[in-house]
Structure 1
């Protein structure tokens, strides 16, 4: 019965997310409903002392990253830099390489620190125009954007400033550059397999005589590439974020040490720098990136920054609260008797890296969130993973990279917020376009086990 309560809570949350209801509202309902069925007297204390503590703790650690990432993406958009980068890539690769061009543009923007959701809105108009000109089925646009923005640049490439690569740093005391070789190998696997699949689908549609499509929804206006900023200048803020993140990752621990203490009156404030250094590095990098945009494009940005920043902060609040609610949900579920059965089942996988990969990707799939599922998994089982790493003599950097990549595996199931947003923006339905997105999802999942296999075969990471 205890196991059924836990599974019922997970199924309920997945269902309401799939139907489009707010996770912020229904995550506590699902969690406390499970507590009610277990022991009604525990509902108030579990809400105040577990759910809210976990939720607030997540926001304390990660909201600045969500906010700065959203603001950075918005100023990149307001400055015209995103359009300039897209036009430049298209100019280099040619409009006949539509799939490759869109994947590369999405990858550049995501790896440069632009939020995944911002990338969807920024790139879709160009993707629609290129696919229409090449008579490529519009239903392949979501899979193409997902490959560029929701996969290897999100969690595999070393140093990526996306939240999925930041969360493991607080549990393993690693940096965002952990296990770079495995990350690059996984990225190449995803890119090659994903491009091969989408191109095969494009050619198959061409042989059948299927074109772009008719009677389509949310078709954007034609793109005008006039008066765009110089693409080399447009790229500079992204380069600033990448370089600053790399430099600050090493400078911050040297400047502050492993433990920093401030004494204000009689109350010392102690910070364990190792668990927050990577977060500080990304936050500092994003701040410098925002400043770089203002330096090179202050006129177009400043005039619309008031409204643009409001929209960016609102989006960051929604995204962070969604994930934090899922984190609180996981914290409650992890304390229920039924979760012990789930943990025992997952723990029965003997290989520690495979155990971690399966645990993270299953929870990411259930919650429909890479960051939410990984947060739940690491919050409940990171001590177990660390102990297993010591016993098997596996560097924690490898556990970091496996967790990050696994979170981006089965997270893009139909109820995933990014998938729902992507389909809504492109004017397509799950029936029309999700099958190809799911293949990208399976490719991301397979890449984790490719990376694990490479580590065990070669020992490199």
Structure 2
């Protein structure tokens, strides 16, 4: 019964998300409905002590990233830099390679360490422009961005600084370059299959005479100036965001140390405020990098941006608020579900799978799907079962580096179900609905889930790491 309650809450939330209802409203309803059916006395304590605590904690940490990411994307749009980049890409690669261009840009940004959410805001303006000029249906933009930002550079390629590749290092004592050959094999599989699928969908639409679309929402502002910026200048803010994020990630811990404290200047005695820098350095780095990117746009296109910045910033802030609250509600839902007895039933049942790597892959991707979070599902799975995974792997002669890569890639498998925060953010930013655009995101989800088992097969067949 406990398992059915958890499953029912998950299915309900996926259903309402797919139907277009607000996750901000229905995530707590789904979570607390499950609590009500399990133990009614815990509804209020779970809501305040767990759901709201996790939700507010997420906003505290990540709202500045969402806000700065939205503003960065807006100034890229208002400056005309997005159109300049698009025109240059079309000249170099041709209109028929629009999807490859977007995947490449998303991949570069995420591999430089830019947050997946920030990439959505930053890339959408010129993705929309490129798809419009190429007359590709707008509904294919979310699937294209998902392939570039949510897959191979998130957890497959060795060295990626995304959190999904960092979490396993603490459990397996590995580094972010673990199992490089297997990671590259998985990345190539995802890129080839993903681009082949998206190209097939584009050709289908072209044969049916379907163009970009009309009566769309959240469309970027048209750039009215005839003269476009030099493409090298236009892409400079994006490059600087990636480079400075990498630099700040290394510089901030050296400047502040592992922790930093200060005493507020108030009347009377005040306790010092202590900040654990190790937990926040990556977020500070992204925020600093986005500020550099925004200032760079103003330096090169200040007059153009300022004239529309008042209205443009309002829409950017509204988008950031909606995206962050959607994701925060999902985070609260995942925390409540993970505390339910039914969730423990699922976790315990998964331990019965005999093969160590398949056990790990299915466990991590299942928990990521249930919680709607790659990092959340993997953290829960590894915190509970890492020692078991290690013992079984050592008994079977499997290197811990392989455990790392499988866990990382599996976390980015079934995490992107309809209730996933990144999916909801992506659809909100692009102004599309699950019914219109989720089919392609789900196809990418299946491809990246299959990639985990391709990697496992490659290890067993060839013994490569």
Q: Which sits farther off after the overlay, 237-246 or 137-146?
A: 137-146
Contact 2:186 2:454 in 1 (8 A): yes
1:238 corresponding residue in structure 2: 238
Structure 2 partner of 1:124: 128
1:16 match: 16
1:249 pairs with 2:249? yes
1:314-350 deviations in Å (ceiling 9; x for gaps): 2122112112112211222222222210111234446
Match of residue 177 from structure 2: 179
Measured in 2, the distance between the counterparts of 1:395 and 1:75 equals 47
* Structure 2 counterpart of 1:152: 152
Paired residues of 1:169 and 1:275 also in contact (CA < 8 A): no
SS at match of 1:255: helix
Which residue of structure 1 lines up, in the alignment, with residue 297 of structure 2?
Answer: 293
Q: Which moved more, 1:93-102 or 1:2-11?
A: 93-102
Change (3 A) 1:389 1:71: farther
Deviates more, 1:226-235 or 1:253-262: 253-262
Relative to structure 1, the CA distance from residue 96 to residue 23 in structure 2 (aligned partners, 3 Å threshold; closer, same or farther) is: closer
> Deviation per CA, 1:405-448, whole angstroms, max 9, x where unpaired?
444433444566776765996989958x7655543222222233
TM normalised by structure 2 equals 0.78
Structure 1 contact 81–229 (Cα < 8 Å) conserved:
yes
With 113-122 and 288-297 compared, the bigger mean Cα shift is at: 113-122
Is 1:26 the counterpart of 2:26? The answer is yes
> 1:15-70 CA distances to partner (integer Å, 9 max, x unpaired)?
11111111111111111111111121111111111111111122222222222222
Report which stretch shifted further, 61-70 or 94-103: 94-103
Kindly indicate whether the alpha-carbon contact (under 8 Å) linking 1:3 and 1:338 is maintained by their aligned counterparts in 2: yes
* Change in 2 beyond 3 A, CA 1:267/1:81: same
For 1:283 and 1:170, locate their aligned partners in 2 and report how far apart those are by CA, in whole Å: 21
1:212 equivalenced with 2:209 (yes/no): yes
| Distance in 1 (alpha carbons) for counterparts of 2:448 and 2:262 | 44
CA distance in structure 2 between the aligned counterparts of 1:398 and 1:261, rounded to whole angstroms: 39
Match in the other structure for 1:319: 323
- 1:308 and 2:305 matched: no
- 2:341 counterpart residue number: 337
Distance 2:453 2:169 in 1: 20
CA RMSD of aligned residues (A): 4.1
Report SS of the residue matched to 2:339: coil
Which secondary structure does the structure 1 equivalent of 2:373 belong to? helix
- Provide the C-alpha distance between the structure 2 equivalents of 1:85 and 1:196, rounded to a whole number of angstroms: 24
Quote how far apart the aligned CAs of 1:189 are: 2.6
Residue of structure 2 in register with 1:74 after alignment: 74
Structure 1: gaps of 5 or more residues: none
Matching of residue 37 in structure 1 with residue 34 in structure 2: no
What residue is the counterpart of 1:2 in the other structure?
2
Does structure 1 residue 282 correspond to structure 2 residue 279?
A: no
Aligned to 1:323, the other structure's residue is in SS state helix
The answer to whether the aligner puts 1:362 opposite 2:366 as a matched pair is: yes
> Does the 8 A contact of 1:172 with 1:396 survive in 2?
no
Deviation digits for residues 166-194 of structure 1, max 9, x if unmatched? 477579669xx933846555433322222
Deviation of residue 240 (structure 1)? Answer: 1.0
Partners of 1:29 and 1:429 in 2: how far apart?
20
Partner SS, residue 209 of structure 2:
coil
1:390-418 Cα offsets, whole Å, 9 max, x none, are 76689999877656644443344456677
Give the conservation status (yes or no) of the 8 Å contact 1:116–1:150: no
Show the counterpart of 1:95.
95
Q: Is the 8 A contact 2:378 2:411 kept in 1?
A: no
* Structure 2 Cα separation of the partners of residues 168 and 59 of structure 1: 23
| 1:226 Cα offset (Å) | 3.8
Report the more deviating stretch, 111-120 or 306-315. 111-120
Aligned equivalents of 1:222, 1:66: Cα separation in 2: 23
- The 5-angstrom pairing of residues 185-200 of structure 1 reads 185-199=185-199
Q: Distance in 2 between matches of 1:395 and 1:321?
A: 40
Q: Does structure 1 retain, via aligned residues, the 8 Å contact 2:377–2:411?
A: no
Distance in structure 1 (CA, Å) of the matches to 2:434 and 2:31: 30
* Structure-2 separation of matches of 1:225 and 1:92: 22
TM-score scaled by length of structure 1? 0.79
Q: Report Cα offsets for 1:114-142 as digits up to 9, x if no partner.
A: 4325634542342243246xxxx887666
Give the conservation status (yes or no) of the 8 Å contact 2:84–2:228. Answer: yes
Return the offset for 1:458: 6.5
Q: Name the CA distance, whole Å, in 2 between partners of 1:326 and 1:428.
A: 17
- 8 A Cα contact 2:190 2:451, kept in partner: yes
Aligned residue for 1:227? 227
- Shift in CA distance, 199/5, structure 1 to aligned 2, threshold 3 Å: closer
| 1:215-238 Cα distance to aligned partner (Å, 9 max, x none) | 964479999994111110111111
In the superposition, relative to structure 1, how do residues 378 and 414 fare at CA in structure 2: closer, same or farther (>3 Å)? closer
- Alignment coverage as a number of residue pairs: 443
